[in-house]
Structure 1
C-alpha cells in the first residue's frame, strides 16, 4: 500500500478505501451540481423561448390577410325574363338567400345550389310597378319598395330555425309590420324614383323623390299597450329647395340628417331636427378629378357614408362637430379598387368593413378603422349586377351578368387590426380629429373598436417615469450612505429593514394607495409639495449647523451613527409642512389648490393620478434599487478606498472618483432592474390610478398601463377574438420591451466594468 508522508500527519493514506469512496461521492456531487445548474439554466431559457413562441402564436393571426374561395355557381333561380334584381340578402347562417325582383316576387333559395325554397308575391296594387327600393338597416331586415303610383309597401323577412330529427331547418317568413295595405306618400300619385327608410321604436321616416322634388314624411308611433297595435300619425316635412337633380337619398339612424346626392358629384346635407324648419347644412362636391357618384351606402351604424365613384375610388365621409357645435361633412379616408366605376357597395353587418365591386368584375374587401385593403380579386369576367354579404361576413353572394349567381366563402378574422390602428392616430366616427384611443368594447352592436396601444404604452412609461423619479435618487443616495459612511452595526440593522419592504405584497400597497394615499394627497396637496421642499432644506440646514458645532460635541456621536440625528429633523419638517397645508392653500391658492390648478394652469386633477402612483410604486421599487446598489458599493475592494485616502484624497473624492466608478456597473444594473419592476407592475397601477387610457404627461392625471389593461380586460375578452389577441400583443410588447432594456443594460454594464476594472 502506497503511503504519502506529511509532516503534520505522516500516516495519511489518500488511496484508502474510505478516501477513494469520498472522492467518488464528491465527484458525483460535482457532476450532479453541474448538470442541475446546466439543466436549470437551459430550462429557464427554454421556458422564456416557449413564452415568446406562445405569444407569437396568438399574435400572428392578427395580421393575416383575408381569403375568398368560390363555393358554387349556378343560374339565377326562377328568374323571369326582363326582370331586374332589386334586393339581395342572406340569413344568419348564410344557407338561404332572398331575391326581390322588379315584378315584386320574393324568392328564397339555397346559397349552395340555387334550389328555390319559397316564393312570395308582394301585394302590388293593380297597374302599379316597383320603381324604387330601400332597406332600413341590414340587421332589422326591414325593406320598403316605392311604387309608380306614389305608394310604399313595407315588408320584413325573418327566419325560424328548428331541428327536426336533429337536422337544422330554416324556415323563411315574410311579414308586413304595418299591414299589406300600401302607404301613400305622394298624393298626386307620381312615381317614387328614389326612396329612403329609417324605422325605430318611436317613429318611422320615409323620404322619396318624384318629378316634383323630394318628399319627407315622418310617422310618429303610438302603441296600444293591450293589443300592441301600432298607430301611425303622419307629419309631412317642408324641405327647402335643392340645387340640382336628385339621384340618391339616405336617412341617418337618428332621423336627424338627410344626405341627398345631387347631379354627378355633389352631396347636400339637410338638418331635419327641427321638423318645422329643416335647413340645408351644406352642399359640397364629394368626388375628385371629374368622377361621378355611382353608389352610396351607410357603413354599419349609419354614421359614415361610403361613396363610390366612376374612377374606382370609395371614400368615407361623416359629420364632424367643431368647437362652435356646428356640423360639417368631412372626408376621412379613401380606398382604391381599380380605375373602373364602382357598381356595388356591401357593408358588413357587425364590423366597420365593406365590400365593393366594379364594372369589370373586381371585388375588394376593406376595413375603415384600420384603413386596410384586405383583399382585391377578380371574381368573374362578367359584370356584377348585385352583391350581398352574409351577416357573419363569412360568405358573399354575387349576381352576375347573363343570369348567373356565384357564392363565395370569406375568411377574414381580424380586419380591424393594422399597424396604423395600433400605433398611429385614427380618425374615429364621432371624433373631431384623429386621436389615440383605447376603447375595446361598448354596449351597442355598431361600435367601432378603438385598439390603439399608444395610450397604454404611454401610460406604462409615465407610471415608470414618476416612480423612478422618486425611487432612484432616494435608493441610490441611501445605498451610498449605508455602504460607505454608516457604522457597520447600524448597517446590519438598516439594510434588512429596507429589504423587508420588498416583501410587502403589491396588492396591499395598491389598496393603501387607492383608499388612503389618494384622498390624503388630494386633501393635503399644498403640504405634499411643501414637504418636498422643506425636508431637503431642513436636512441641509441641520448639516450646516452640525458642521458649525465644536468638535467636542460632534465627537459625542460615534462615527457612522450621525444619520440617527436626521430622523427627528425629518419628522419635524414633515409635520410642519403637512400641518401648514391648509394655511398655504388659503394664502397662495385662494383656499382651493385643486381649483387653482384647473383654472390657472389648465390642468385636470384626478384623485387617483400619476403623483399617487409615483409615491406608491416608488415605495415598492426603492428596496430593489437600494439592495443591489448597496451590495455593489459595499463590494468595492477596500484597498482601493484605503489607497485613495492614503494618497491624500478626501472621503468624498474617494467616493465620487473611485468607489462609485468601480460600482457603476452594479448601480446601473440596479436602476435597470428597478425600471423593469416599475414597467411590469400591475396591482399598484390597477388600484391607484383611474385606469383611464389617456395620453397626458400631466402628473395630476391618471393613466392605464399595458400590464393593468391585460389584468382588467383579459377575463372578459372572447377567446380568439381581435380583442383577445391584441391583449396578447400588449403582453408581447411588454416582453420585448423588457428584453430590449435588459439587453441594453447588460451591454452598458459590461462596458462600464471593462472601463473601470483597472481602477
Structure 2
C-alpha cells in the first residue's frame, strides 16, 4: 500500500514505498517465502531420509541370510564309558544332555558341558548274546536298533521329560521300548547280524540286515489296527534279495519303505525295490565313486530321500531316485551335487534334524558344514584333535560333539542360522528331492518337519513382471489415447466432465476391484470366452466403422452435434458391440469349439486354462492403472503452450500433423513419466493380484494361467512366518528386490525424461 503525499496543484504526485505498512508487508512476505523454502526443503530431505531408512532396514534384515557359519569350542572332557566301543552318540533338544550307546549294551546320559554322568542304564540284551551291529531309524525319530549275534534285533527309543521345579528346568532322560523289551527276529537261521537297517512308519516296520555268512534277510511288519480294540497288530512278511552282496559297508531304507540301498565298499551302490513282491527287484546299480576310490561313509539325509556318499578322497555326493525319462514308469539313482571337504577319507557324516544340511569330518580332523539345497559350503576348518570316530549335531544344529579315538569329546557351539539360502537357491534352477529335473520353485512350507524348503524368487519375479506386462498392455494404449483425445480434440465443456470422472476411478479401493475381479469377472470370462475374443476383435472394427460413417454423413446431421462432442456418439456404439459380442458367445462356442472353448484350448491346443488367470488380472489391474497414466499424460499434453499448436495450424499443418509433430514431442517427458508411474503402480499392486489369480508361483507366459507376484507373496506369507527365520528374511529380500526394481526403473525414467525435456524443450 502506498500513500500519496500532499503537493501543490502543479506538482507531480510521489509514491512512498517505504511506509511502515509497506515495509511490514514485505517483511511478512519474505518470512513466508523463507518458511515455504525451508518447509519444502525439510519435506524433501525427510522423504529422502525415510526412503534411505527403509533401504537400510531392509538391508539389515537381509544381510544375515548370506553369512557363513562359525564354530567355537566350548569344552573338552573324557567320554563317560571308555571300556567299550561307542556305537552311537546324540543329544536332546536343548543340547544339555547327551547319550552314549556302547558295544556292551550300556546307555549313558551325560552333561554335554562337563561330561558328568546323569543316568546309566543297561539294555535288556539276552544272556550270552553279543551286540554285533547298530542302526538308527532317523535322526528326528529317536529310534535305534541293536543287531544281535542270535539273528535278532532290539529296538528302543531315547526320550526326555522336562519339568520345572522351583522354576528351574530339569531334563530327565529315559528309554522307551515301542515293540517291547524282547528282541525281534530278523534272520530265521539265527546268524549274527553284522549290518543292520531300520525304518518305522505308521504303516509298517522294515528291518534289514547282513548276516555273518553274507545273506541279506529283510523282514517287514505291516501294522493293522483292530477296529474294535484299536490295538495295532504286526503282520510279518519276509523279502529276499535276488543277489548276494559282498563287502557291504551299510544298509539304508527309504521313508516309504520301498527303496532299499546297499552301499558296498568297492564303490558300487545297489537299489532294490521292496514293493515288487516276496523277492526284491534290483532297480538300479551305479558306481558311486571314481575308479580306484572306495566309499568310506554313507548316511541318509533328513527325510530319507537323499543318500550322502563319502569317499576316500574327501568328496561327499548326494544321490536320490528320479523317474527315468527313457523308460517310463522306471526309476534310476541320480547323482545330484557334490561337496569337497579335503583330500583325506570321510570318516563320519552327521545330518541335521530339521534342515537339509549335514556335517562331515575326515581322517585329518577337518570339519565341513554344508547345505544340499543351497549347494552351499558354509565352513571348512580343522578343529578335531586326532582322528574323529563320531560326530553328532544337536536337533537345533547349534551344538556339535566330536569323539576321537583317544576317547576325548570336544563340544563346539555352531552358529549357522540360514544355511538354506544362497544366490543359486534364490535365482538359479535347483534340483529338489523327488523332482525329475532342476526347476524354479517357490514352496516355503509344508505339513511335515522333513520338508525341503524351496525359496526360488524367480517365479515371483516372473509373476510380478507378467502381471505388470498384461496390465500395461491394456492400460497404456487406452490411457494415452484417451489423454490425447481429451486434451487435444475434446470440447472444453466435455473435458470438464470426462477428466474428473476418470480421475475419480483412481479413488476406488483396489481390494474392491480384486473382489469384483475374482468373484464376478473371472467366472464371467470363463463362461463367455468366445464373446470376450469377439469383443476384442469387433470393438476396434466397430469404432473405426462408426467413425467412418459419421465423417461421411451429411453436414446437416454432423453439425447437429457441437464441435468436440464427437466422442459421445461412440458410447452407444461401444455398448451395442459389447452386447452383440457377449450374445454371440454361446453360439460361437457351439459352432467352433464343440460347446466348450476351455476344453478345446486344453485338449486340442495344449494350453492350460485357469479361471483366475493373467487375462483377468490384466483387465482388473489395467482398470486400476488407467486413471494414473491418463491423469498425468493428459496434464502433460494439455500443458503444451497453445502458441505452438496455433502456430503449426497457421502454417498449414492439419490437427493430426500438429499433434504428432509438435504436441506429442513436447509432452513426451510427461507421457513417459505417466507410463513409468503406472508401471510402478502395476508392479507394486497387491490386492488385485492376490484375489484375482490362483496365486500359484509358476513360470508360464500363458495368459490363461495365473501367477504369484512378489507383493502378493509378501502380503500372504509375512503374517505366517517366524520372526528371524530364513523364510521371514527372504520375504524381506523380496521387498528389497521390489524396492530396488522401483528405484532402478524410476531412475532410468528420470534420465530418459530429462533427455526428452532437453531435446524438445526448445520448441
Give 1:363's match in structure 2, choosing from 317, 342, 367.
367
Structure 1 partner of 2:268: 266
Q: Name the CA distance, whole Å, in 2 between partners of 1:30 and 1:654.
A: 40
Q: Name the CA distance, whole Å, in 2 between partners of 1:310 and 1:739.
A: 51
Structure 2 partner of 1:425: 429
Alignment of 1:696 onto 2:697: no
SS of alignment partner, residue 98 of structure 1? strand
Q: Please state how far the C-alpha of 1:126 moved relative to its aligned partner.
A: 2.7
Alignment of 1:638 onto 2:651: no
Q: Please state how far the C-alpha of 1:543 moved relative to its aligned partner.
A: 1.8
Structure 1 partner of 2:159: 158
Q: Please state how far the C-alpha of 1:200 moved relative to its aligned partner.
A: 2.0
Q: Name the CA distance, whole Å, in 2 between partners of 1:562 and 1:350.
A: 69
Deviation string, structure 1 residues 127-146 (Cα, Å, up to 9, x no partner) = 32211100112222111111
Mark the CA change 1:430 to 1:629 in structure 2 (over 3 Å): closer, same or farther: same
Q: Name the CA distance, whole Å, in 2 between partners of 1:222 and 1:481.
A: 77
Give 1:723's match in structure 2, choosing from 727, 733, 748.
727
Deviation string, structure 1 residues 523-574 (Cα, Å, up to 9, x no partner) = 1111111111101001111222223223343233222111111111111111
SS of alignment partner, residue 69 of structure 1? strand
SS of alignment partner, residue 92 of structure 1? coil
Relative to the length of structure 2, the TM-score reads 0.96
Structure 2 partner of 1:44: 47
* TM alignment of 1:197-596, pairs within 5 A: 197-210=198-211, 211-222=213-224, 231-242=233-244, 244-322=246-324, 324-596=328-600
Mark the CA change 1:598 to 1:222 in structure 2 (over 3 Å): closer, same or farther: closer
Q: Please state how far the C-alpha of 1:96 moved relative to its aligned partner.
A: 0.9
Structure 2 partner of 1:69: 72
Q: Name the CA distance, whole Å, in 2 between partners of 1:229 and 1:687.
A: 47
CA contact (8 A) 1:6 1:12 kept: no
CA contact (8 A) 2:350 2:391 kept: yes
Mark the CA change 1:364 to 1:504 in structure 2 (over 3 Å): closer, same or farther: same
* TM alignment of 1:114-133, pairs within 5 A: 114-133=115-134
* TM alignment of 1:645-660, pairs within 5 A: 645-660=649-664
Structure 2 partner of 1:55: 58
CA contact (8 A) 1:457 1:706 kept: yes
SS of alignment partner, residue 757 of structure 2? helix
Q: Name the CA distance, whole Å, in 1 between partners of 2:208 and 2:689.
A: 53
Alignment of 1:23 onto 2:26: yes
CA contact (8 A) 2:154 2:184 kept: yes
Mark the CA change 1:527 to 1:172 in structure 2 (over 3 Å): closer, same or farther: same
CA contact (8 A) 2:214 2:245 kept: no
Q: Name the CA distance, whole Å, in 1 between partners of 2:377 and 2:5.
A: 88
| Structure 1: 4+ residue segments shifted above 4 A | 2-9, 222-231
CA contact (8 A) 1:4 1:14 kept: no
CA contact (8 A) 2:238 2:278 kept: no
Q: Name the CA distance, whole Å, in 2 between partners of 1:526 and 1:689.
A: 20
Alignment of 1:99 onto 2:100: yes
Q: Name the CA distance, whole Å, in 2 between partners of 1:604 and 1:9.
A: 91
Aligned alpha-carbon RMSD (Å) = 1.8
Q: Name the CA distance, whole Å, in 1 between partners of 2:80 and 2:369.
A: 27
Deviation string, structure 1 residues 583-605 (Cα, Å, up to 9, x no partner) = 11112212111111111221110
Structure 1 partner of 2:109: 108
Deviation string, structure 1 residues 708-755 (Cα, Å, up to 9, x no partner) = 111111111111111111111111111100000000000000000111
Q: Please state how far the C-alpha of 1:361 moved relative to its aligned partner.
A: 0.2
Q: Name the CA distance, whole Å, in 2 between partners of 1:353 and 1:9.
A: 98
Q: Name the CA distance, whole Å, in 2 between partners of 1:222 and 1:589.
A: 51
Q: Please state how far the C-alpha of 1:5 moved relative to its aligned partner.
A: 7.2
Alignment of 1:627 onto 2:605: no
Q: Name the CA distance, whole Å, in 1 between partners of 2:577 and 2:25.
A: 65
Q: Name the CA distance, whole Å, in 2 between partners of 1:143 and 1:560.
A: 87
* Larger mean Cα displacement after TM superposition, 516-525 or 71-80: 71-80
Gaps spanning 5+ residues in structure 1: where? none
CA contact (8 A) 2:214 2:244 kept: no
Gaps spanning 5+ residues in structure 2: where? none
Q: Name the CA distance, whole Å, in 1 between partners of 2:85 and 2:227.
A: 42
SS of alignment partner, residue 715 of structure 2? helix
Count residues in correspondence. 756
CA contact (8 A) 2:391 2:401 kept: yes
* Larger mean Cα displacement after TM superposition, 545-554 or 492-501: 545-554
Structure 1 partner of 2:614: 610
Q: Please state how far the C-alpha of 1:228 moved relative to its aligned partner.
A: 7.3
Mark the CA change 1:579 to 1:222 in structure 2 (over 3 Å): closer, same or farther: closer
Q: Name the CA distance, whole Å, in 2 between partners of 1:99 and 1:400.
A: 14
Q: Please state how far the C-alpha of 1:241 moved relative to its aligned partner.
A: 1.4
Mark the CA change 1:205 to 1:563 in structure 2 (over 3 Å): closer, same or farther: same
CA contact (8 A) 1:641 1:654 kept: yes
Q: Please state how far the C-alpha of 1:221 moved relative to its aligned partner.
A: 3.4
Deviation string, structure 1 residues 461-488 (Cα, Å, up to 9, x no partner) = 0000000000000011111111111111
Q: Name the CA distance, whole Å, in 2 between partners of 1:116 and 1:653.
A: 95
